[in-house]
Structure 1
Amino acid sequence: MSTDFQQAREALGRRLRELRAGMTQRELAALLGWPQAKVSKLEKARQTATPEDLMAWAPATGQAAATEELLARLQGLETHTRSWRRQLTAGHRPVQDVLTVEYERSAELRAWEGAMVVGMLQTPDYARHVFTRYAELQQSPRDVEDAVRARVRRQELLYQPDRTFHIVMWEAALHAGVAPPDVLAAQLDRLSSAIGLDTLRLGIVPFGAAVGVPPANGFWLYDDRTVIVEEWHAELWLTDADSVALYRRVWDTLNGSAVYGTHARRLIARARAHFADLA
């Protein structure tokens, strides 16, 4: 079973447990006419739900409106190319929940982002504007507040000592006007203060720096085990050794052009001064 399949199945199981809140497994099983063991296996990701299972589960828990969300999660289980159109059928929150599972099972995470501040370091206001823009682009349901809360909860992992985040961003990400100037200024303050976290190494590739490869689309590496690459039309979940090794080389190359510490703070301060003048 592939890594991306299992982590998505675990996320689905967690969502099923969430919907069951207020009743026991035995009570739900009785309503559905199932063995209690089936309810347990679905929630613990030991059995893959069928569409019929999910269409029965949601109404039985009093959450019929969640049916489409559950079906959207199921559709994304078995593919490495996860189209945004399919993933966002029920909005951004389910996507965030699936990602959280992958973060939680990883000890060393590396990211490259050239277009905007990475999600793990976004302020709620900044994230709100990002999700709103993407919902408009993808014409998806607007569950912006739920998505923001899920992203902010995931950021608690930054304060757990058993994880290390190596994040590299292009300086252009600091200047992307994806939100009003006052929101961007506050976001840059957040970045500057995050540099002091024990679990985080934040590097910035300056404008004009010599780079070994062209700065391109963003991606995350999870324990050199899985790569998640963001395209406009889809996310790519890659687990084969050759692909993981390729993206690790890309990350290492871009990291070689990054600056850290005081120099990185200087670049952040320069971007912040620009937006402070506009606010």
Structure 2
Amino acid sequence: MSSFQQARIDLGAQLRQLRENAHLSGKDLAERLGWQPSKVSRIENARQTATEDDVVVWAQAVRVGPETVDGLIAQAAGLLERQDSWRQRHKSGLAALQEDIRDLESRTKLFRVFEPGVVIGLLQTAEYARHIFSKVRRLYETTDDIDAAIRVRMQRQEILYDPSRRFRFIMPEAVLRYRLAPPDVMRGQLDRLLAVTTLPNVEFGILPFEAPLPAALVNGFWIYNDSMVGVATRTKDLVLRDPDDVAFYAHAFEEFCEVAAHSDAARAVIVRVLDDYARQSPG
């Protein structure tokens, strides 16, 4: 067991003990917090990482002292800052990871996302996601919960229709052509992207092959509000909160935006790729 998972187990057990000391059931606590009861269960059983906000409201609901609250915050902050092995994290299951991401997204109003190798998760179709999760499961030897992971990923996408949130997405044209799924699945995925470009709170950009790039397309990154950046590598999931780091990635994102195709120009790239898939299809 990784140190990350053990720390998550320890925090979950402590939170459960505090709930039980307050003579609250999981359902009672969820009602007080306005959560789904399943979230309480996932945190207590170390299937979801409790955030600093989570432990603060939990502590308030069970009426513990400020010293206990400070200790819980420190534990939650330590989990979020940890640069833990993706192989170890994936052992807790694909669905659990999706729940962690969904919880973070629920606290975000402005998303800036650059993804150089795969269609951005919030924009994936269920069929495309299935092929991606299958590859992830093979690579990291995860538990076999692909159907559950897809359900959570699709639930995550409901946030796109919240007009109080703003989304800015950038992907290179190559992502539209990578054969991470069969051609019929790719065509369905491209149709989905065409639909997303019409949402009023979504800014969708594509880096065409002919675009003069300001930098090499290395790692993808997600900027959450102006406070945190998530950078995924093959072996580490980096969480960056230093203002200089956030500013660096925000600047990199704007440079990509300047050379990306947007609106009708982005849709023209998608349609061009769709036409290429159609010519490659049998019959």
Query: How far off is 1:239 after superposition?
Result: 0.8
Q: Which consecutive residues of structure 1, in runs of 5 or more, have no partner in the other structure?
A: 18-24, 47-56, 59-65
Q: Which consecutive residues of structure 2, in runs of 5 or more, have no partner in the other structure?
A: 34-39, 51-75
- 3-state SS in 2 of match to 1:36: coil
- 3-state SS in 1 of match to 2:231: strand
Whichever residue aligns with residue 23 of structure 2, its letter is Q
Sort the Cα spacing of 1:67 and 1:113 in 2 relative to 1 into closer, same or farther, 3 A.
Answer: closer
Whichever residue aligns with residue 231 of structure 1, its letter is T
Sort the Cα spacing of 1:69 and 1:124 in 2 relative to 1 into closer, same or farther, 3 A.
Answer: farther
Query: How far off is 1:41 after superposition?
Result: 11
Conserved in 1, the CA contact under 8 Å of 2:91 and 2:141? no
Cα RMSD of the aligned pairs, angstroms, is 3.4
* Equivalent residue for 1:222, pick from 201, 206, 224: 224
Query: What is the distance in 1 between the residues matched to 2:27 and 2:166?
Result: 33
- Pair 1:135 & 2:137 matched: yes
Per-residue displacement from partner, 1:160-206 (whole Å, max 9, x unpaired)?
11000000111111111100110000000010111100110100011
Q: Which residue of 2 aligns with 1:202?
A: 204
Query: What is the distance in 1 between the residues matched to 2:212 and 2:245?
Result: 25
Sort the Cα spacing of 1:166 and 1:96 in 2 relative to 1 into closer, same or farther, 3 A.
Answer: same
Sort the Cα spacing of 1:116 and 1:99 in 2 relative to 1 into closer, same or farther, 3 A.
Answer: same
- 3-state SS in 2 of match to 1:256: helix
* Equivalent residue for 2:159, pick from 157, 160, 167: 157
Query: How far off is 1:71 after superposition?
Result: 6.7
Conserved in 1, the CA contact under 8 Å of 2:190 and 2:274? yes
Aligned pairs for 1:1-279 (under 5 A) are 29=20, 34-36=21-23, 70=46, 73=49, 77-279=79-281
Per-residue displacement from partner, 1:128-178 (whole Å, max 9, x unpaired)?
110111111111112111111111101000001100000011111111110
Q: Normalising to structure 1: TM-score of the pair? A: 0.76
Sort the Cα spacing of 1:248 and 1:41 in 2 relative to 1 into closer, same or farther, 3 A.
Answer: farther
Query: How far off is 1:69 after superposition?
Result: 6.7
Conserved in 2, the CA contact under 8 Å of 1:93 and 1:146? yes
Query: How far off is 1:277 after superposition?
Result: 3.2
Q: Normalising to structure 2: TM-score of the pair? A: 0.75
- 3-state SS in 2 of match to 1:70: coil
Percent identical pairs in the alignment equals: 35
Query: What is the distance in 2 between the residues matched to 1:141 and 1:225?
Result: 32
Whichever residue aligns with residue 46 of structure 2, its letter is L
- How many matched pairs? 239
Query: How far off is 1:101 after superposition?
Result: 1.4
Query: What is the distance in 2 between the residues matched to 1:227 and 1:42?
Result: 31
Conserved in 1, the CA contact under 8 Å of 2:48 and 2:99? no
Q: Which residue of 2 aligns with 1:52?
A: none
Sort the Cα spacing of 1:41 and 1:238 in 2 relative to 1 into closer, same or farther, 3 A.
Answer: farther
Conserved in 2, the CA contact under 8 Å of 1:69 and 1:94? no
Conserved in 2, the CA contact under 8 Å of 1:72 and 1:87? no
Whichever residue aligns with residue 229 of structure 2, its letter is V
